[in-house]
Chain A
Amino acid sequence: GDSVTQMEGPVTLSEEAFLTINCTYTATGYPSLFWYVQYPGEGLQLLLKATKADDKGSNKGFEATYRKETTSFHLEKGSVQVSDSAVYFCALSAQAGGTSYGKLTFGQGTILTVHP
């Protein structure tokens, strides 16, 4: 079945440091890939997405590129801020015709803490 694996956390960085959170996936065909962010006590917010190979999703300084050859969708940001402290989830949604079509499969989440 489909699965998503994220790098183990938690990740602790100083403000303005470079961020990478690794994400790899297993799925048949060409799933759509997403990064969601969850702030304490809240639901998930869509951060960015990519729907086909070599697509780059970007939002709020965050970027991730859909790499079909390495089945990866790593999240990056050049300069993190304290306000970026949250839990980040990588997720996939299977392509049409697959048994998982429509539902999201999530990684376990990575806790990011940014210190001033």
Chain B
Amino acid sequence: NAGVMQNPRHLVRRRGQEARLRCSPMKGHSHVYWYRQLPEEGLKFMVYLQKENIIDESGMPKERFSAEFPKEGPSILRIQQVVRGDSAAYFCASSRRQGGEQPQHFGDGTRLSIL
């Protein structure tokens, strides 16, 4: 069974460009979470999606950031007009069902660097 797949592993963008991060959840998982890890910090929740629905986006910056999880294909985290402060590791996690007891399975992350 393939785990959570994220790509690309590393992404370099210049200020003002767009960054698109992809996440394919584990087979059979329909719940996707995105987290951001700034250097030497813990992970911070950004957004929680189910297929075609955003359930909780309370951790997403109000501007430039968006996320989707279409009926077909991977979940996408999009960052428009990137700035230096967006440099971080972005992790996707998936679970089979919603719920506090459900463990979330993480991908290896996308490390975004802004020049």
Write the residues of chain A forming the contact surface with B, with a CB cutoff of 8 angstroms.
31-32, 34, 36, 41-46, 49, 51, 89, 93-96, 101-109
Contacts and interface: CB of A to CB of B under 8 A. Distances in A.
Interface of B: 4, 6, 31, 33, 35, 41-45, 48, 55-56, 59, 91, 93, 98-109
Nearest to A52: B101
B4 A93 contact: no
B103 A46 contact: yes
A43 B48 contact: no
Contacts of B56: 102-103
Contact of A43 (B100, B101, B107): B107
Given A44-B91, A46-B103, A103 B48 contact: yes
A32 B42 contact: no
Contacts of A31: 100
B99 A104 contact: no
B42 A106 contact: yes
Contacts of B35: 104, 106
